[in-house]
Amino acid sequence: KAGVTQTPRYLIKTRGQQVTLSCSPISGHRSVSWYQQTPGQGLQFLFEYFSETQRNKGNFPGRFSGRQFSNSRSEMNVSTLELGDSALYLCASSLGPDRDYTFGSGTRLTVV
């Protein structure tokens, strides 16, 4: 059974650019959530989607957005990148909002 797949694994972008990260959940999982992890802030919740609807949103600026498709795959987009957006972005999927999670390996974004 395939796990949660995040692409790309590594990414280097320039300040001011935008970036799109992808997350393919485990087959059958309809809930996908996104997290940002930085050394100083730890794990911070970005958003959660269930059946294409955003259920929860963390305290991030509007430059961070996401969506979920009908096949449960999810994308997150960050526009006008800032140096502080450099982080490990993790996605997790589950059968539903109150079920156990499986995490992807993450996308490490470096903004220069």
Partner 1 sequence: KNEVEQSPQNLTAQEGEFITINCSYSVGISALHWLQQHPGGGIVSLFMLSSGKKKHGRLIATINIQEKHSSLHITASHPRDSAVYICAVRTPSSNYQLIWGAGTKLIIKP
Tokens representing 92 are 């997790």
Nearer to partner 1, 41 or 80 (CB): 41
The footprint of partner 1 on residues 10-39 (CB under 8 A) is 33, 37
What DSSP state is assigned to residue 81?
-
Question: Is residue 98 near partner 1 by the rule CB under 8 A?
Answer: yes
Q: Given the rule CB under 8 A, which residues bind partner 1?
A: 33, 37, 42-43, 45, 48, 55-56, 58, 88, 90, 92, 97-103, 105-106, 108
